[in-house]
Amino acid sequence: MAATHGGANVHAQEQVETLAGSRSGLAFRLEKGLSLLIEVPAALLVLAEVVVLMMGVIWRYGLHQPLIWSDELAGILFLWLAMLGSVVAFQRGEHMRMTAIVGGLQPKWQAFFDLVAIAAALAFLALVVEPAYEFAAEEVWVTTPALEIPNSWRASALPVGILLMMITGLIRLFKTGGLRHALTALVSVAAVIGVVALLAPLFSGLGNWNLLLFFVFGVGAMVFLGVPIAFSFGLATFGYIVTTTTTPAMVIVGRMDEGMSHIILLAVPLFVLLGLLIEMTGMARAMVGFLANLLGHVRGGLSYVLIGAMYLVSGISGSKAADMAAVAPALFPEMRQRGAKPGDLVALLSATGAQTETIPPSIVLITIGSVTGVSIAALFTGGLLPAVVLGIGLAFVVWWRYRNEDLSNVRRASWREIGVSFIVALPAIALPFVIRAAVIEGIATATEVSTIGIAYTVVAGLLIYRRFDWKRLYPMLVDTAALSGAILLIIGAATAMAWALTQSGFSSTLAEVMKSLPGGTITFMAVSIMAFIILGSVLEGIPAIVLFGPLLFPIARDVGVHEVHYSMVVILAMGIGLFAPPFGVGYYAACAISRIKPDEGMKPIIGYMLAMFVGLAVVAAVPWISVGFL
């Protein structure tokens, strides 16, 4: 009897495993089909944006016949690119999230909170899908001025993208956790939302204490539990608006649309694509090779090369991940052979990532221009020297650490080798100057100039470096769409959240508090530095800027701080927070690219971060460093 019962249990278990396997196989097939359906148009949209903006430059500057519809068409395609890119990023699990705390839990709890993160994102999408449809339906009555078509053609991207993300999220949820665990995560999130809904009458009587509940405790809890930042912002904003105000939920979608549709942000996907092209064509490797020949024989020489290479490459790509991925593989093997410790390598790579945050065309610079109205050309000019100041600080630490390095087995490159490598690297070194000159001379706007960089890189890759892998082009376009979608969804959600904060009166209260701080400008700058270091470590640069830039920049002007100077200070402060462990996401990205364990770099990075902080203090104290060349 017992044997029969045991055989029945085994048979039942086999049936469960077979059913789970069939569900997993179905989920895999659905996911693969959906990927093809979304990734192809997303890649084509990236390509279309390059073509449309390039046509705008050629017709206006070359033929002196501006295309009045080019910017409008680019804007329509851009929102579709942002939403489809968000779907691709959601499918890949690439939406920005903080995993420092969840990553320290036991594997079973890590898996559970990963499912909760997906379920929370699904909850937000389910809550806004109907308001998004209503918003798009309302836009049918608005006609675009140049193309003269209903604006619903553009606004429809929001409900379509949200619906596709919902489908993608459900597939990921059940594929990752199975039926029981997926339902547990969904029920857990639904229970929390239900409790918040039931407490709505209580919230309505709390006044501005709701800001603390929703935007500090609520957002903080979700971010630390690993919910993607964009969805954390979205859920908190939706909860605050629906439970404490009479504002319709459709307004949230409208604010998201406004944040994601700013024409300046068109530069984001194009500079991301440019960074990938730089790596693929070998231009970054050529620059690194020249610097290695020039300084490789000096004590700590390759560390100086790393600092210089990150400076040059950052001026091209605008993407920190692309920067590090281009430089680290070219330098780290030789640095290891010379005895450099892995921890010191990843520590310096992280520090240089923070150092180069102000170098144009940084995506953070473009975001600041978008949300605060500061001139992009002025930001591009003002960002060069602050990074040099921080680089000098890093170089001093390198000199101290490597002052006794043994170079007996290191061969010094001949002047001929240096000259040849310089000639090879010259087209790559010239690219940042071409980009900046195009903006300053008025050939292209900050939005369009990336297309000039892309054209330059493609020509250089095909004709000069003879390295252009056509097979990699499609994956690069898809990667560009995914990263851009993740960034732009954060900007959209943060814009809605910033609007809610402004409507509550928080911005005016914050302005009064900051203005009344004793010590005037000095205290204001010191508080800003500490605040943005913390914000950079938790929220990363872009959402922090979108949230607090519109609030703090007017105050900076009122206390007499130049807006470009203030931009440099807050960007560098956020960079330090972003790349400083234990919370800095950028530090873990550097570890992943270097394939070095995070704990190895914890101690070596302290010296570099101290040098960065000293450099930041110098930049904050001497405005000329930021505005001297404007």
Q: What is the pLDDT of residue 567?
A: 92
By mean pLDDT, which of 47-51, 143-147, 197-201, 584-588 is the weakest? 584-588
The band of 2, judged by pLDDT with boundaries at 50, 70 and 90, is: very low
User: Residue 622 and residue 561: Cα distance in Å, rounded?
Assistant: 11
Q: What is the pLDDT of residue 322?
A: 63
CB neighbour list of residue 260: distance below 8 Å, 6 or more residues apart: 79, 82, 488, 489, 491, 492, 495
Main-chain dihedrals φ then ψ at residue 218, nearest 5 degrees: -65, -55
Of 552, 535, 551, the closest CA to residue 543 belongs to 535
Supply the angle between the helices 541-558 and 473-503 in degrees, to the nearest 10: 50
Of 316, 390, 385, 120, the closest CA to residue 229 belongs to 120
Q: CA quadruple 291, 297, 299, 300: dihedral positive or negative?
A: positive
pLDDT, tens digit (0-9, with 9 covering 90-100), for 55-113: 888 888 878 788 888 888 888 999 999 999 999 999 888 887 777 678 778 888 888 88
Tell me which amino acid residue 349 is: L
User: Residue 71 and residue 58: Cα distance in Å, rounded?
Assistant: 13
Q: What is the separation, in whole angstroms, between the first and last Cα of the chain?
A: 89
CB neighbour list of residue 427: distance below 8 Å, 6 or more residues apart: 283, 286, 460, 464, 465
217 C-beta neighbours (distance < 10 Å), count? 11
Within 13 Å and on the Cβ side, how many CA atoms surround 422? Answer: 9
User: Residue 428 and residue 418: Cα distance in Å, rounded?
Assistant: 15
By mean pLDDT, which of 112-126, 216-230, 467-481, 509-523 is the weakest? 509-523
Q: Structure tokens of 290? A: 């020249």
User: Residue 340 and residue 482: Cα distance in Å, rounded?
Assistant: 35
- State the average pLDDT over residues 189-203: 89
Q: Structure tokens of 384? A: 């060069």
**Between the CA of residue 128 and those of 20, 132, 300, what are the distances in Å?**
31, 6, 54
**Between the CA of residue 464 and those of 97, 295, 424, 456, 460, what are the distances in Å?**
40, 25, 9, 11, 5
User: Residue 316 and residue 393: Cα distance in Å, rounded?
Assistant: 23
SS3 content of the chain, % helix, strand, coil (to 5): 80, 0, 20
Q: What is the pLDDT of residue 539?
A: 62
190 C-beta neighbours (distance < 10 Å), count? 14
135 C-beta neighbours (distance < 10 Å), count? 24
519 C-beta neighbours (distance < 10 Å), count? 10
pTM of the model: 0.77
Of 583, 486, 450, the closest CA to residue 231 belongs to 486
Element at 34 (helix H, strand E): helix 2-57
Of 431, 436, 455, 454, the closest CA to residue 446 belongs to 436
Instruction: For residue 361, say if its preceding peptide bond is cis, omega within 30 degrees of 0.
Output: yes
**Between the CA of residue 243 and those of 59, 123, 197, 235, 529, what are the distances in Å?**
51, 16, 7, 12, 34
Supply the mean pLDDT for the chain. 82
By mean pLDDT, which of 285-299, 433-447, 556-570 is the weakest? 433-447
- State the average pLDDT over residues 575-597: 76
**Between the CA of residue 147 and those of 44, 142, 365, what are the distances in Å?**
21, 12, 31
Q: What is the pLDDT of residue 81?
A: 94
Torsion of CA 69, 75, 76, 82, to 10 degrees: 160
Q: What is the pLDDT of residue 272?
A: 78
- State the average pLDDT over residues 508-527: 79
102 touches 220 (CB < 8 A): no
pLDDT, tens digit (0-9, with 9 covering 90-100), for 250-275: 999 998 998 888 777 787 788 778 87
Of 215, 207, 209, the closest CA to residue 239 belongs to 215
Residue with tokens 């980009």: 435
Q: Structure tokens of 59? A: 């017709």
Higher pLDDT, 267 or 555: 555
User: Residue 179 and residue 17: Cα distance in Å, rounded?
Assistant: 12
User: Residue 136 and residue 276: Cα distance in Å, rounded?
Assistant: 34
| Three-state secondary structure of 214-262 | HHHHHHHHHHHCCCCHHHHHHHHHHHHHHHHCCCCCHHHHHHHHHHHCC
Residue 148 Rama label (left phi>0; alpha psi -120 to 50; beta): left
